[in-house]
Structure 1
């Protein structure tokens, strides 16, 4: 329950965020870039090559069309994939890509719709709920990410110096996938 609350608080904190016009914004090519432009789709239509940068705009479309079930499923998927990518990308500044994707996609959603989604997702992703178990099963069937997370790599400060390898060389994908499913989404990993 504590971890669900933390995920929910992280999500809730992104709504209503404003940017300061005095900030400078430097970008590299590929920063937060979506490779696929998805509509509001059922989780079963996602593949392991869809990145969080592909999925967050689809979540927005679902929220705006009041399809909160699909939005919740996609939100769980994007969260799991984002956490997995954070485990394998060395540059910690690049990890902020997930928060920025959420801000970019959710900050201008109608407040009533965003509140409805926040309320819905708290129940939908409640630990032990049948909905969470079904979502976990579908995400497990899709499998761990099968892409290089350039949307995230190009978001970090290391993208400005080409002198390093962006991913951990000895990254254990199987262990990290199990950890993310268990610790982030609270899926049973069996």
Structure 2
């Protein structure tokens, strides 16, 4: 029965909506074809391996994770770890402010895709560094200070909006935000999720 169900699922052919077909691209992964909106989860710039102190509030999570990969390839796992946490909290902030509920898991998908670029030993070393940052009071305090200095995001979360079903079916990525969203309050609450980080 399971084999029959799997065969049925793999046999389904999906056609992108005609209204937005020019904005949809097919990405094949073996026998699976994923249809994505162009611009979904894409970086807007190549920032390289930079210290978190040099990060800017208009760097998107895709930008920051691309920088994290660059740091891993240079064996600079501490810098990679700080960029990871900045990307993660920015993605969490974006998931609160985008109005398309189906787009809000973009941050998780982005992290999964980024991890797939790493080799197993790199994944292990990065995970160990992430645990060390959160498990060492002085390092977590430093992260808190760095996050406060960079500040809440100032970019439009197009990368996330384009990941949602609304954009897939032709909705514009220029809007897509929750009305009357209180950025300052939500940013402070996210920072407060870190130990001893007042936001």
Q: Which stretches of structure 1, 4 residues or more, deviate above 4 A after TM superposition?
A: none
SS in 1 for 2:124: helix
Kindly provide the CA deviation profile for residues 58-98 of structure 1, in whole angstroms up to 9, marking residues without a partner as x: 11121222111101110110011010000001212212221
Aligned-pair Cα RMSD in Å: 2.0
Q: Partner of 1:15 in structure 2?
A: none
SS in 1 for 2:33: coil
1:170 lines up with 2:171 in the alignment:
no
Q: Partner of 1:117 in structure 2?
A: 126
Q: CA deviation at 1:169?
A: 0.9
1:40 lines up with 2:49 in the alignment:
yes
1:143 lines up with 2:151 in the alignment:
yes
Kindly provide the CA deviation profile for residues 42-72 of structure 1, in whole angstroms up to 9, marking residues without a partner as x: 0011100000011111111212221111011
1:68 lines up with 2:68 in the alignment:
no
* Unaligned ranges ≥5, structure 2: 1-27
Q: TM-score, normalised by structure 2?
A: 0.78
Structure with higher RCO (Cα < 8 A, 6+ apart): 1
Contact 1:93 1:156 in 2 (8 A): yes
Q: Write 1 or 2 for the structure with the bigger share of strand.
A: 2
1:157 lines up with 2:177 in the alignment:
no
* Unaligned ranges ≥5, structure 1: 1-18
1:104 lines up with 2:113 in the alignment:
yes
In our comparison, the structure showing a higher alpha carbon Rg is 2
How many corresponding residue pairs? 170
1:179 lines up with 2:174 in the alignment:
no
Contact 1:63 1:114 in 2 (8 A): no
Contact 1:181 1:187 in 2 (8 A): no
Q: CA deviation at 1:187?
A: 5.2
1:131 lines up with 2:139 in the alignment:
yes
SS in 2 for 1:25: strand
